[in-house]
Amino acid sequence: MAAKTESRVIVVTSGKGGVGKTTSTANIGAGLARMGYKVVLIDTDIGLRNLDILMGLENRIVYNIVDVVEDRCKLAQALVKDKRMPNLCLLPAAQTRDKSALTPEQMQSVVTELKKEHDFILIDSPAGIEQGFQNAVAAASEAIVVATPEMSSVRDADRIIGLLETKEEIKHYKLILNRVRPDMMKTNDMMDVDDVLEILSVRLLGIIPEDQNIIISTNRGEPVVLREGDKMPKATLAYRNIASRISGEDIPFLDFDTPVPWMEKVKNLFRFGAA
């Protein structure tokens, strides 16, 4: 067997709540697992955990990360295996404790342990910039900042980026712009992708369109990235592309204005070239 490459530890954060951190963590994690990587998701939102619900694993939790750091169980016992993919698992947060139940040092030792077995460790950060955030970033070497094209979200993202820049361990960070509404951007009723990138001066990892399929997926406890079929939701494609980009593939950003997916466009180009 080939030697395992260095595992990557990525924190997903935003500052503002409700912009799609947890949804993004679940979908990117499932997307990477779908590609065959060994992935573990860590929920650091102690007291307000939600990643388990999005993954549909809430009824399988016996132990959580606080049980691990307080030595009530071994790390392997707290990992909840995904019901769809054997190479994906979740380290849940405690629901009945608060943020002070975990320290950055404990987080680092948990992640060090997890690195032995996993290719990707995705850390879902709680909203805010207090201890929960500090715990979440403590062990990460990369960051994904999630924002929506709204003033309050972009402002908080700017604050978070400022904090990430002070962290020596964070080697690089990229932005996911979530809940993008191409219709409103066209009519200049909303900041567009370029506006946000210009203001934040940050590199883009992906664009997720506003998509009701995300709500449907949440209700079912099945990440939207795992949808299959001919009528794949746009959000599915967008999250798959993000997972591919994280794994190192160079994939162009989706153009939501045209109904033709980018793959078709590339094919069309070929057709013209050959003719």
Residue 108, both tokens: 């680092």
9 or 177: whose CB is closer to another protein? 177
Nearest residue (CB) to another protein, 10 versus 61: 61
Alpha-carbon distances, residue 143 vs 66, 124, 127, 130, 262 (angstroms): 23, 10, 14, 17, 27
Is the dihedral angle over the CA atoms 46, 145, 80, 106 positive or is it negative?
A: negative
Site map 109..148 versus another protein, x via CB under 8 A? ----------------------------------------
**What gap in Å lies between CA 86 and CA 236, rounded to an integer?**
21
Decide if 11 contacts 24 (C-beta within 8 A): no
What is the nearest approach in angstroms of another protein to the Cβ of residue 154? 6
For another protein, give the closer residue by CB, 135 or 245.
Answer: 135
Q: Is 83 in the site for another protein (CB under 8 A)?
A: yes
- Would you give the binding string for another protein spanning residues 174-193, x where CB under 8 A is met? -----------x--xxxxx-
Residues 6 or more apart from 20 whose CB is under 8 A from it?
Answer: 14, 146, 148, 176, 178, 179, 208
Binding residues for another protein, total number by CB under 8 A? 39
Cβ distance to another protein smaller for residue 233 or 246: 233
Q: Do the beta carbons of residue 121 and residue 40 sit within 8 Å?
A: yes
195 counts as binding another protein under rule CB under 8 A: yes
248 binds another protein (CB under 8 A): no
Among 201, 250, 273, 274, binds another protein (CB under 8 A): 201
Least separation in angstroms between residue 248's CB and another protein is 27
**Region near another protein per CB under 8 A, out of 6-14, 31-39, 153-161, 259-267:** 153-161
* Calculated CA dihedral for residues 150, 156, 161, 167, nearest 10 degrees: -160
Q: How far is the CB of 269 from another protein (least distance, A)?
A: 31
Shortest distance in whole angstroms from residue 74 CB to another protein: 8
Look up residue 56 and give its amino acid.
G
Q: Which stretch binds another protein (CB under 8 A): 26-34, 58-66, 118-126, 137-145?
A: 58-66
What residues line the site for another protein (CB under 8 A)?
A: 47-48, 56, 58-63, 73-74, 77, 81, 83, 95-96, 150-151, 154-155, 158-159, 162, 185, 188-192, 195, 199, 201, 213, 216, 219-221, 229, 231
